[in-house]
Structure 1
Amino acid sequence: MDDHPVPGINLDATPSGTGCEECLNGEGAGWWLHLRRCAQCGHIGCCDSSPSQHASAHARTAGHPVVRSFEPGEDWFYEHTTKKFFRGPRLPDPQSRPPEQPSPAPAGKVPADWRERLHR
């Protein structure tokens, strides 16, 4: 049960993995630039600059409006409904993708012209 005062944050939800679930399952382009973590269920999806924008799609379809960056050294939250960034509580570890995991990723799936394929 979510006992944090910000709706959409579950302090017990652990990350679903270390990469975008849908990209790794072959949905969409299959690669990402940065990762976002659903603060309610732990789903890891790709950011809005990535070709498939799976984190935002998850927020819309699941009704989970809050994401946290899943990038090393970043601890910001974003609320899709209000379109505002904020600082929030510490979520269960891990706090980010492994630092040795490249960005963009996954290795071997990122096209040579990846910069031209990003959403701006």
Structure 2
Amino acid sequence: MTTCEHLAKSADPEARTPEGCEECLAAGGRWVHLRRCLECGHVGCCDSSPAKHATAHFRATGHPVVQSFEPNETWRWCFVDSTMG
């Protein structure tokens, strides 16, 4: 079994915009599900959402790990290694 160093080293920062996707809130957009960056706390919308801001944040910053920001979900995803934790 391969261990993902990014998942192992991920932090737990406060959400920058706990009310929703940072970019969608600013632009009046909508989202399906939310993801929180575990490096800086950015909250972005998932790839099922029209704008896919969580993935765009990874591409722009290189921050590797997001965690679901949905109630009762604690799973994490590493973009670099395409691994769930």
Give the TM-score, by structure 1 length. Answer: 0.61
Q: Which 4+ runs in 1 deviate beyond 2 A?
A: 4-7
Q: Distance in 1 between matches of 2:57 and 2:77?
A: 14
Deviations 1:3-38 (A, max 9, x none): x9834x224x210112000001107xx000000000
**Runs of 5+ unmatched residues, structure 1:** 87-120
CA RMSD of aligned residues (A): 1.8
> Quick check: which has more Rg, 1 or 2?
1
Alignment of 1:31-50 (within 5 A): 31-50=30-49
Cα 1:81–1:39 change in 2 (3 A) is same
Identical amino acids, percent of aligned pairs: 51
Q: Is 2:65 the counterpart of 1:66?
A: yes
What is the SS of the residue equivalent to 1:6? helix
Take 2:55 and 2:44, find their aligned partners in 1: how far apart are those partners? 8
Unmatched 5+ residue regions in structure 2? 1-5
Give 1 or 2: higher helix fraction: 2
